[in-house]
Structure 1
Amino acid sequence: MRTKDASKEQAIREEALEMIVQEGFKGLSMQKLAKKANVSPATIYLYFENRQDLLNQLFMGVQQKVIEASLVGFDPEMPFEEGMKVLWLNRFRYFKEHPAEFFFLEQFVNSPLLSCVNNWDKKKNLVNPLQKFAENAVARNEIEELPFELYWPIGFSPLYQLIKYELHPVLYLGKHFEISEEKLLKALQIVLKGMKKG
């Protein structure tokens, strides 16, 4: 029985991510991936059952890294403005350093592939703290009471659009455009103003 090699698995994951970002999901074939990762096609199946399993595992791995990065220095008990600042800056900085992961997630969550990810509880590691954070802010009369499914798009959709501008300005704006953290926090203040109670 062949033994697993963590470095080979990592190479497969990294090359698969780059191929998807560059060529889309249709451009990902196991033969091409094996060649790019410098392994045999049979080696890929030591780590992943099939193409769908590879995609699922890649999605879950990237999402978990994003969740962990998002929650650095964050506490659901923080005042709402302080906590949102931490969450926005953490995500912005992470994706600025890992643009391929951002574009991979954008493709994955906007495709039918998302429905193929089963039994994934790790997202609760992000949802539960954010839900508690929002509940605390409502209890302190810092923000309007909203269903949680409204809180996320109102609070974070502008951030994701700004990340797109930062990572691919020509595509979205037709010119060079840089999002400084100062601009980011100015946008956050407008979002917070819209969410405040009264």
Structure 2
Amino acid sequence: MRTRDENKVLAIREKAIDLMVEEGLEGFSIQKLAKAAGVSPATIYIYYKDREDLIIQLSIELTNTLLEYSLRDFDPAMSFSDGLKLQWKNRVAHFMKFPKHVEFIEHIRYSPLYEQVRAHMIVQFGEAMGAFVHNAIRNKQLNKLPFEVYWAVAFAPLYQLMKFHSQGRSHKSEHFALNNKLLMQTCELVIKGLTP
């Protein structure tokens, strides 16, 4: 068995992210990746069973980084307002540092491959966020809502701001850059809408 060459693994990983961002899931192939990474397809198969295995493993790795950022300094016992603000700040910090990782995950989000990643996220993230939401409802800091409604109101505005930022423009402005003032202004409105 060949030893793991970390430089090759890193090159494969980085080029896989670039290729997914540039070409999407449909344009992603082991042949293209091997050429971009400067390795043979056989080298890629040393580390991954097939294309799907590579995409799933890489997605889980990128998701773990997102979860690590999201839960940084987070405590499920925090007040709803403080906890949601911290979630927003942490997610934006991740997005600003790893914009390609976010795009990579977006490319597979609506494919069957995402189910394994989603299952992993639920296990890793569900416990902390579930406890946070239940504490906030019990403490009368959050209205009881169906999960989908809560998630749409709590996080869709954040992801739209990040989308405007990544595009560098909005529907109104030719130049848009997300800053802390806009972030917190939007977050305060979301908190107001979710609290009793």
| CA distance in structure 2 between the aligned counterparts of 1:61 and 1:121, rounded to whole angstroms | 10
Question: How far has the Cα of 1:3 moved from its partner?
Answer: 1.2
Give the TM-score of the pair, scaled to structure 2.
0.93
| CA distance in structure 2 between the aligned counterparts of 1:113 and 1:172, rounded to whole angstroms | 32
Question: How far has the Cα of 1:102 moved from its partner?
Answer: 1.2
> For residue 128 of structure 2, what is the amino acid of its counterpart?
P
**Contact (CA 8 Å) 2:31, 2:41: kept in 1 or not?**
yes
| CA distance in structure 1 between the aligned counterparts of 2:185 and 2:117, rounded to whole angstroms | 38
- Shift of the 41–171 alpha-carbon distance from structure 1 to 2, 3 Å rule, reads farther
Question: How far has the Cα of 1:123 moved from its partner?
Answer: 3.4
Equivalent residue, structure 2, for 1:13: 13
| CA distance in structure 2 between the aligned counterparts of 1:181 and 1:108, rounded to whole angstroms | 29
| CA distance in structure 1 between the aligned counterparts of 2:170 and 2:41, rounded to whole angstroms | 35
| CA distance in structure 2 between the aligned counterparts of 1:123 and 1:47, rounded to whole angstroms | 26
Equivalent residue, structure 2, for 1:92: 92
- 1:68-147 to structure 2, matched below 5 A, reads 68-115=68-115, 117=116, 120-147=119-146
| CA distance in structure 1 between the aligned counterparts of 2:118 and 2:156, rounded to whole angstroms | 26
**Contact (CA 8 Å) 1:15, 1:33: kept in 2 or not?**
yes
Question: How far has the Cα of 1:179 moved from its partner?
Answer: 1.2
> For residue 179 of structure 1, what is the amino acid of its counterpart?
L
| CA distance in structure 1 between the aligned counterparts of 2:99 and 2:174, rounded to whole angstroms | 18
> For residue 143 of structure 2, what is the amino acid of its counterpart?
E
Q: Tell me whether 162-171 or 67-76 shows the greater mean CA deviation.
A: 162-171
- 1:34-53 to structure 2, matched below 5 A, reads 34-53=34-53
RMSD: 1.8
Question: How far has the Cα of 1:127 moved from its partner?
Answer: 1.5
> For residue 124 of structure 2, what is the amino acid of its counterpart?
N
- 1:155-194 to structure 2, matched below 5 A, reads 155-170=154-169, 175-194=174-193
Identity fraction in percent: 39
- Shift of the 118–99 alpha-carbon distance from structure 1 to 2, 3 Å rule, reads closer
Equivalent residue, structure 2, for 1:63: 63
Of structures 1 and 2, the one scoring higher in RCO (CA 8 A, sep 6+) is 2
Query: Which residues of structure 1 form unaligned runs of 5+?
Result: none
Query: Which residues of structure 2 form unaligned runs of 5+?
Result: none
| CA distance in structure 1 between the aligned counterparts of 2:93 and 2:107, rounded to whole angstroms | 20
> For residue 15 of structure 1, what is the amino acid of its counterpart?
K
Question: How far has the Cα of 1:174 moved from its partner?
Answer: 6.5
Equivalent residue, structure 1, for 2:194: 195
Give the TM-score of the pair, scaled to structure 1.
0.92
| CA distance in structure 1 between the aligned counterparts of 2:149 and 2:7, rounded to whole angstroms | 41
